[in-house]
Structure 1
Amino acid sequence: MKPWFKNVKPHKDIQEGHLDESIFAANLAEVASGTGREIYTSPDMFFQKTYFTAALKNISRRAVHGLNGGQDAENRVISLQTGFGGGKTHTLISLYHLAKWGNRAIQSDCTKELLQHTGTLKFDSANIAVFTNSTNDPAQGRKVNGITIRTLWGELAYQLGGKEAYEIIKVNDEKRVAPKGLFKKVLEQCKPALILIDELADYCVSASAVKVEVSNLSDQTVSFIQELTESVSGTDQCVLIATLPASAQELASSPISAQILSALENRITRVGANMKPVEDDEIFEVVRRRLFEDLGDEKEIEEVISAYSFMYQSLFTEISSHALKTDYKERLKKSYPFHPELIDMFRLRWASNPYFQRTRGVLRILAAIISDLWKRQTYLTGSQFLIHTSDVVLSNVEALTSQITILHGASWDAVINADISGTSSNAFKIDNEVKGLGKHSITQGVAATILLGTFGSKGQNKGVGVDEIKLCMIKPEGFNHNDINGALDRMEGNAHYLYYSSTGQKRYWFDTTPNINILINQGKGDIKSSDINAEIIKRISEKTKKVQLFNTLVNPLDDIPEQMKPTLVIMSPVYSANTNEVSGKAKTLIEKIATKKGKSERIYRNTMLFLCCSENGFAKLQEDLRNYLACQKISTEYNSQLEKEQKDDIKKRIDEANKQADISLVSAYSIVLKYSVKNGIEKLVVKQFKESLDSQINDNIISALKEEEWLLESVGLSTLKSNNLLPTVEQPVRAKDIYEAFIRFDDKPMVTGIDAVAKSILKYCYNSEYCIATGDGKIFTKYFLQENVPFFDVTDVTYWLVDKSLKPIPKITIEPPKDEEDIIIDVAPGNQKKEDGIRTFRSITVSGKVPLEQYTELFNYFILPFGTSGNKLDIEVKFKIKSTESSPLDESKPLYKSAKEASKQLGLKFEEE
């Protein structure tokens, strides 16, 4: 069998060691301007070195069908959202060349495979607009042909249709105000049209510093994206492809980065389809196509792969079990001349770091490894049929060590120098001391393998196991696999930065002085949006248990039962809003909940308010919860590996992150929404915040609702009058109808509850605004005016409000006393008579017994009229309360205790028998 460097042929610059790493940095703007490297600007050369992934074929098919127009066109707004190096820019360049070529693409041999999947391009050449984060300076704009273009919409219009198309939105571009309803005219004029937008989120971060009236250019750009996506969707032969980073961590270090990304995601993915340009397994072919101009003899490759497969079967007890599966042979073939475990180190482990560029980063490192080995091929010892992790000499591969420094910090230089690579390293010293190991540099190979496997591994799978190390290192016709065990034993006793698990199968990893920050940042990358949303709902559910006034419904289904009490519906963060607008998803759900109960119409429509998460606050809340969940994750998964000081530190961080998350939850849920048929959705933004959500609702939100008169704790007379809820001579009003008017009809303010209406009705009766009467609405048996109404129940259908003029005037007749049970009026005569002979008195004394059901008459005929007319009124009382079988009196009864205490407070005599 031939060594790999005798079978394959790397590209010339890799062979010569003149590696310009920029060849792996695709730049869409340079391609569009024709100033980029030939490998990207030449369609033939570009497609020759491009591996057509399944996703690239699918995206290209969508784009071609969309530009061709007609019924075959699918969703023509496509979002490409992956992490660093996920193939987004490469995909955009592919689409650029296809659209530029048009129907001439079929003439190139390099595109035959792609066109078999996409079908024929039915247009000569599409109009193309390219916008990246460097196309147009947010502050200065871009000058071209006497025009200064200042915005994204200006650039797209000009690039698609020149000055004529630009004129359509010229005013909007000059004022930096997003057009509304105009861009569809541009597209109609310029189709077929392909719009490629790359790094828009990064552009928006810079544009946020440019003020536009009360807004800024970033907000205007985000607003335009919604206009653009809808225009493209509604215009035939138009396609929009936009890229977004996978997380805000990839953007500039700015507090608004997450907010901008969230806003762009909401608007692009609302209309478009999100696609991933490169699937995980396709990285093998992408790497081979980009690094080698000749992949060698297939028969030679088959011989090498067979030798590895046979070796693995014979060593099945020593290596990872997945290498024994039938599909592993195919993976060996796909990755040739690399061992698949080397590529997987970067593809799977390193790619878990959000800052590692999955495609470009892997290409840069592998190209540097090939270049080093190619130059040293005459000095390489042992079998060299594939390129293994153990073949990597870190001190020779600056692209690799610099990437470690960039991703994990400069402190790793000390680890590499002390333990792994170079003549001063412990691994080199061991190989130099033990000839059996040094012949194949086994210890240095073990150390390099462990270091590569250190990054991206976590929890119980931290580092690499012995079986994984052996799979990465052993070769046909090579050293004995037991030599690896010997190297590990020596490294355990000599290495300065090597760690290993003490329970179960041994796993090895390198580390610097323990650094909790690095662990937490790694943990953040593992937290998904769904994890954060679930934590938000969980916290809201817990915090709202102590809410007093409102019945709270947290993230409910849209089929909510009738609510007759004030109800606060707290929405999932998926249904967001901001100070200017409510998201489309939120509008739809709120209107449905507010007007429908299942399939039927909702009766009580004025009892529900909706508490929504603001887009601005959500970005901060996401970040705080991501930090909290990451700390929890680190505490759980790394508990056995942390020192006591680290455990104390992570516990403290969890407590602090938990408190901060609660505060951010309050500030995020700051928008109260109310739906009404007349006004649609109205917004109330709460600007004062408590530290916990229950306190925020009980205090600040309720106060704000009352201040804005969205919520009434008492109903004013003017409110009753303006809503035609006061009686007239001709028309009484049922008390229950007044209460139900405030809970059924959403054109009225909400009330805090039944007491808000009941007490107000009683108040204005007492103030002589109207009578309360009992009856059926036509015939009334009892009237109350300027008096309390005993046992008044506003939901009782027999209570009515009637005009006070309708109350009958009582006739008082005093009959002579019949027995001791009757009332006695004792008159003390005065000393004078008036000139007309009418007697005057010094006082009148009224005494006797009154039935319980008539006790209120004492107030109406004696206390109120004499007390308000200026007479001095002395009142003596005597209550004799008798025990009964149904209600016996004893000193344990609350009634007894309260009566005794009241007597004491009022200075009354209290006797018992």
Structure 2
Amino acid sequence: MALKTWREIAIPHEDVLKGTFQQAEFAADISRVHEGSATPEYQNAALFFQRTFVTEGMRLLLDSVVRRLVGKGGDPVIQLQTAFGGGKTHTMLAVYHIAKGDQPASSLQGVSAILDGAEITELPRARVAVLDGINLSPNQPKTRTSGATKVKVNTLWGELAWQLGGVEGYERVRDADDSGTSPGKEVLSELLVTFAPCVVLIDELVAYVRQFEHGRSYSGGTYDSNLSFVQALTEAVKAVPNAVLLASLPESDREAGSQNGVAALAALSHYFGRVQALWKPVATEEAFEIVRRRLFENISDRLGAENVCRSYADMYAGNSGEFPAETRESHYFDRMKHAYPVHPEVFDRLYEDWSSLDNFQRTRGVLKLMATVIHRLWQDGNNDLLIQPASLPLYASEVRNEAINYLVQGWDPVLEKDIDGERATTTSLDSQKPLLGSIQACRRVARTIFLGSAPDAGSVGGSKQQRGLELERIYLGVAQPGQVLGYYGDAVRAVEDRLQYLNGANNRFWFDTRPNLRREMEDRKRHFDERGDVYPLIRERLRFAPGVFAGVHIFTSSNDVPDDWSLRLVVLPPDAAFSRSIPGGATDRATTFLQTRGDQPRIKQNRLIFLAAEADSVGRLKDHVRSVLAWQSIVNDVKESRLNLDQLQAKQASRELDTANDALARMVKESYKWLLAPVQHASRAEGITDLVWEHFPVNPAAANRMQEIEQILRDNELLITQWAPIHLRGQLQTWFWKDSEPTANALDYWHKSCAYLYLPRLKDADVLRATLEAGATTTDFFGFAYGREEGRYVGFQFGKSVAPILDETLLLIEPTAANAYADQLVNEEKARQKAVAPAEEPDPNPGALESDGAGNTAASPASVAAAAQKTTANPGSGAPRAVKRSFFGAIDLDPIRAEMQFVDVVHEVINVLLASPNVRLKVSIEIEAEAEDGFEENLQRAIKENCAALKFKQHGFEE
């Protein structure tokens, strides 16, 4: 069943529809009614009760009044004490119209039931005296006329007597009126008895009495004489069975005004307190019906209205964790029905929050604001199911002006820039996201927060101890049945992130007239330089352990990335981002890196892997960086006392910095997600292909990014950390071994694998060493030798477990050739033995030849090794070589590459010597430097200090 919108069920009164209402129409003026000059809705008794909701409190008060007027009991003195704009004057008007009896009770809506309850068939017409403290002046007598008689009335008691009995009544108090002294209780009692039944209505009494200065006499009497009159009047009314007195007093000292007003309120409260019946006329719940009756005609479709309220109640019950607890109670459903077509949350915020403002009249202010709102909503064709806080058309100037009229200065830019209107940020946010824009989610959220927070966040006199509107109340103010609640959650996050006057803390949100720290942050973001500030922070956040790489070079120029044998990861800057759909960018920059090192060509091209950012993410990444820099500068300025913030804002800045840092950490991982590896494919038949860039996404959620990168490289065979000898043999057969030359230099293979992209990319030389060692145990892959002299292999090894030394002499021999050479060695050994040994002499190596069981013999591996050692010890001779007992080596290092070259010397020479337990090693370094113009003093001092710290045996500068 389709739910009807509020405009289909509730029709506003004509003056609301046309916008012809005036502020004065909402301010009941009892003096104007008494004089006959009020507007029809107040002057006409029938129309007044038609638009007046008789609350429970008002019903009890009217019951007491009518009983008193007919002498059946009732309270003689009633004090109406409510907050400013709380309906006390409106209540007096109800008493006034009933007591006057200008129209029969049957024509006054709701009055007949009161009379029936009091068992009164006909109410007598009573005399009514209205004493309005605003309409009377202590020092300006009023001239009253009756026929040809004119009387100058000076005091409250003179005015009371005149209104009750005209000239006759006034004569009873003339002397007291002329002298400004209060008449006694007996005089007033006789006056009331004579003109009873009567009603005395005193409005704004404090406003009148506070004008009297102590010790000074006025035509209206003195301060003390007026207090005496009040005391005497209350006692007199009490003594007259069919007389009743209603007086209104402010509820607080603030409403009493000056010090005189506070003193007057205290004194009057004391005197009324002795005999009064205290009554507070309007509860918040009843105010719903008061406002609804004044603004709307009767509800045309009660069932339709109830269906709407039921749908809201079902939504609250189905999402109980997202809304305030009271929405799950059955009582809340009744509240919605009473308040229809206005949502109870609107009244709650106005009566609980806005009525705490100094100049917001409780009932009149609500009526005036809501009349303006409803008029504009009707004009604009609003189709909400209920008029909620989110429905307020704050984009309309008349609504905006009415709202901010009660607030301190400075709300115009808040509403225009952040909350509502064509140029508001919320409008932009809704237009950017269709799902939010379809329900105006951001605008509705902002309107709701404004209504619930403006009195406290930007005004004096706020009522809440804790600032802001809770998230559950935001949902209450915006959500309608059938909508996805999650969209509003997204909207809250969007406005929290973008609005400049919106503040948030502890899951509460509020607007303020002061720009929040976000605006300060946004201003500062524009001041950071991309190259000087943004890139360095990205570089800092990209640092991670090198892992398999000898170095990770972040935003480094090609000239500063060494061209050596080490595996290196090059992280490209944001301006060299990668996109699968648009070539160039990262691959162009990486190609330049790969081919050149500064002005020189790069040789070891197969030692570089690249990491690049996603092109579509670079803009967001830079923005995140600027946010972090801005928040960090704010926090620093607070610590250094360069920026004054309150405690809440200082905590907010620190919290925002933490949030921005967390977001940047995620953004860096999400942005730098592309691993780029240069590859060439080659075959003898087709040759070498052009350069190809293989790209692989890195999982941003990986706990260890370097391990993830290594895994990607290994899984895609772009990095080899363990290599089987059979694969090495295949590479050697394809590219190195030839029929004419069945050997390959092992170190040359390592160097070429570092240079050529079509060869396997080994992690380091240790991988090749391990592969050689693993292949040495069998005759399937390759043989070893440490050079070749006069056609013979030096240090030949084949099919024996050895740990070969990877140096410039190590040769890898094709297995067929190695096997043939091994056979040659065996045969040579046989021949040598026959040549040098007597026939009868026993074989010194009986295991040299072994039988295979079929009559064939072959050399054992041990004999082959022995023969190889003898042969290679002195090629062409059986004599052993001289024992070498010392080693000396010298090398000139390139000063620019000295660090890397010295590492190679240590690794390839020193560590190999240290591997032998019997070697004693001594290493010295000599450094010579010359400067034609001489060395600067600062340089000399630095060198001397560093040499001393490093414990140089000798060092110094010479002329």
Normalization by structure 2: what TM-score?
0.51
Structure 1 range deviating more: 461-470 or 112-121 = 112-121
For residue 139 of structure 1, what is the aligned residue in structure 2? 139
In 1: Cα distance, 2:30 partner to 2:219 partner: 33
Q: Deviations over 1:27-86 (max 9, x none)?
A: 1011111110111111111111111111111111111111111xx313210000001121
In 2: Cα distance, 1:275 partner to 1:52 partner: 14
Of residues 289, 294, 310 in structure 2, which corresponds to 1:290?
294
Is 1:423 aligned to residue 432 of structure 2? no
Of residues 176, 184, 203 in structure 2, which corresponds to 1:172?
176
Q: Deviations over 1:765-805 (max 9, x none)?
A: xxxxxxxxxxxxxxxxxxxxxxxxxxxxxxxxxxxxxxxxx
Q: How does 1:597-746 map to 2 (within 5 A)?
A: 641=648
Q: How does 1:588-603 map to 2 (within 5 A)?
A: none
For residue 709 of structure 1, what is the aligned residue in structure 2? none
For residue 511 of structure 1, what is the aligned residue in structure 2? 512
Amino acid at match of 1:511: D
Amino acid at match of 2:34: A
Structure 1 residue 151, shift from structure 2 partner: 1.1
Amino acid at match of 2:432: E
- CA separation of 1:430 and 1:277: change in aligned 2, threshold 3 A: same
Structure 1 residue 129, shift from structure 2 partner: 0.3
Is the contact made by 1:102 and 1:124 (CA closer than 8 Å) also made in structure 2? no
Structure 1 residue 107, shift from structure 2 partner: 5.7
- CA separation of 1:139 and 1:460: change in aligned 2, threshold 3 A: closer
Structure 1 range deviating more: 6-15 or 435-444 = 435-444
Is 1:120 aligned to residue 124 of structure 2? no
Q: Deviations over 1:126-180 (max 9, x none)?
A: 1110011243332221111111111111111110111111111111111222222
Identity, % of aligned positions: 33
Is the contact made by 1:453 and 1:463 (CA closer than 8 Å) also made in structure 2? yes
Q: Deviations over 1:545-600 (max 9, x none)?
A: xxxxxxxxxxxxxxxxxxxxxxxxxxxxxxxxxxxxxxxxxxxxxxxxxxxxxxxx
Structure 1 residue 452, shift from structure 2 partner: 0.8
Structure 1 residue 119, shift from structure 2 partner: 4.0
Is 1:42 aligned to residue 44 of structure 2? yes
Is 1:240 aligned to residue 240 of structure 2? no
Structure 1 range deviating more: 48-57 or 416-425 = 416-425
Is the contact made by 2:182 and 2:225 (CA closer than 8 Å) also made in structure 1? yes
For residue 396 of structure 1, what is the aligned residue in structure 2? 396
Structure 1 residue 401, shift from structure 2 partner: 3.8
Amino acid at match of 1:274: L
Query: Partner of 1:271: helix, strand, or coil?
Result: coil
For residue 750 of structure 1, what is the aligned residue in structure 2? none
For residue 463 of structure 1, what is the aligned residue in structure 2? 468
For residue 274 of structure 1, what is the aligned residue in structure 2? 278
Query: Partner of 1:500: helix, strand, or coil?
Result: strand
Structure 1 residue 394, shift from structure 2 partner: 1.5
Structure 1 residue 210, shift from structure 2 partner: 10
For residue 363 of structure 2, what is the aligned residue in structure 1? 359
Is 1:193 aligned to residue 202 of structure 2? no
For residue 19 of structure 1, what is the aligned residue in structure 2? 21
Is the contact made by 1:364 and 1:399 (CA closer than 8 Å) also made in structure 2? no
Query: Partner of 1:294: helix, strand, or coil?
Result: coil
Is 1:9 aligned to residue 16 of structure 2? no
For residue 667 of structure 1, what is the aligned residue in structure 2? none
In 2: Cα distance, 1:239 partner to 1:335 partner: 34
In 1: Cα distance, 2:320 partner to 2:415 partner: 32
- CA separation of 1:342 and 1:123: change in aligned 2, threshold 3 A: closer
For residue 88 of structure 1, what is the aligned residue in structure 2? 88
Amino acid at match of 1:183: L
Amino acid at match of 2:191: V
In 2: Cα distance, 1:4 partner to 1:121 partner: 41
In 2: Cα distance, 1:343 partner to 1:214 partner: 45
For residue 300 of structure 1, what is the aligned residue in structure 2? 304
Structure 1 residue 5, shift from structure 2 partner: 0.5
In 1: Cα distance, 2:434 partner to 2:268 partner: 60
Q: Runs of 5+ in structure 2 lacking a partner?
A: 457-461, 517-644, 652-959
In 1: Cα distance, 2:40 partner to 2:215 partner: 36
Structure 1 residue 218, shift from structure 2 partner: 3.5
For residue 28 of structure 1, what is the aligned residue in structure 2? 30
For residue 70 of structure 2, what is the aligned residue in structure 1? 68
Is the contact made by 1:11 and 1:291 (CA closer than 8 Å) also made in structure 2? yes
Is the contact made by 1:52 and 1:114 (CA closer than 8 Å) also made in structure 2? no
In 2: Cα distance, 1:510 partner to 1:5 partner: 30
In 2: Cα distance, 1:62 partner to 1:639 partner: 55
For residue 710 of structure 1, what is the aligned residue in structure 2? none
In 2: Cα distance, 1:274 partner to 1:370 partner: 35
Amino acid at match of 1:105: A
Structure 1 residue 307, shift from structure 2 partner: 1.6
Amino acid at match of 1:512: T
Q: Deviations over 1:228-284 (max 9, x none)?
A: 1111111221100000111232244x3312111111111112211110111221111
Is the contact made by 2:155 and 2:221 (CA closer than 8 Å) also made in structure 1? no
Structure 1 residue 316, shift from structure 2 partner: 1.7
For residue 631 of structure 2, what is the aligned residue in structure 1? none
Q: Runs of 5+ in structure 1 lacking a partner?
A: 516-637, 645-913
In 2: Cα distance, 1:120 partner to 1:271 partner: 26
In 2: Cα distance, 1:28 partner to 1:641 partner: 48
Amino acid at match of 2:391: D
Structure 1 residue 205, shift from structure 2 partner: 2.5
- Between structure 1 and structure 2, the one with the greater Rg is 2
Query: Partner of 1:496: helix, strand, or coil?
Result: coil
- CA separation of 1:187 and 1:484: change in aligned 2, threshold 3 A: same
In 2: Cα distance, 1:209 partner to 1:429 partner: 62
Amino acid at match of 2:170: Y
For residue 329 of structure 1, what is the aligned residue in structure 2? 333
- CA separation of 1:231 and 1:403: change in aligned 2, threshold 3 A: farther
For residue 770 of structure 1, what is the aligned residue in structure 2? none
Normalization by structure 1: what TM-score?
0.53
Structure 1 range deviating more: 78-87 or 391-400 = 391-400
Is the contact made by 2:138 and 2:154 (CA closer than 8 Å) also made in structure 1? yes
- CA separation of 1:460 and 1:263: change in aligned 2, threshold 3 A: closer
Equivalences, count:
511
Of residues 202, 205, 211 in structure 2, which corresponds to 1:206?
211
In 1: Cα distance, 2:408 partner to 2:32 partner: 32
Is the contact made by 1:232 and 1:238 (CA closer than 8 Å) also made in structure 2? yes
Amino acid at match of 2:51: K
Is the contact made by 2:101 and 2:123 (CA closer than 8 Å) also made in structure 1? no
For residue 591 of structure 1, what is the aligned residue in structure 2? none
Query: Partner of 2:86: helix, strand, or coil?
Result: coil
Q: How does 1:303-382 map to 2 (within 5 A)?
A: 303-377=307-381, 380=382
In 2: Cα distance, 1:210 partner to 1:360 partner: 38
In 1: Cα distance, 2:379 partner to 2:23 partner: 18
In 2: Cα distance, 1:327 partner to 1:428 partner: 36
- CA separation of 1:85 and 1:52: change in aligned 2, threshold 3 A: same
For residue 686 of structure 2, what is the aligned residue in structure 1? none
Greater relative contact order: 1 or 2 (C-alpha under 8 angstroms, separation 6 or more)? 1
Amino acid at match of 2:508: R
Q: Deviations over 1:69-127 (max 9, x none)?
A: 1xx31321000000112110111011111111189424655532333344426553111
Q: How does 1:839-878 map to 2 (within 5 A)?
A: none
Q: Deviations over 1:336-362 (max 9, x none)?
A: 111111121112222233542221111
In 2: Cα distance, 1:63 partner to 1:639 partner: 55
Amino acid at match of 2:240: T
Structure 1 residue 376, shift from structure 2 partner: 0.6
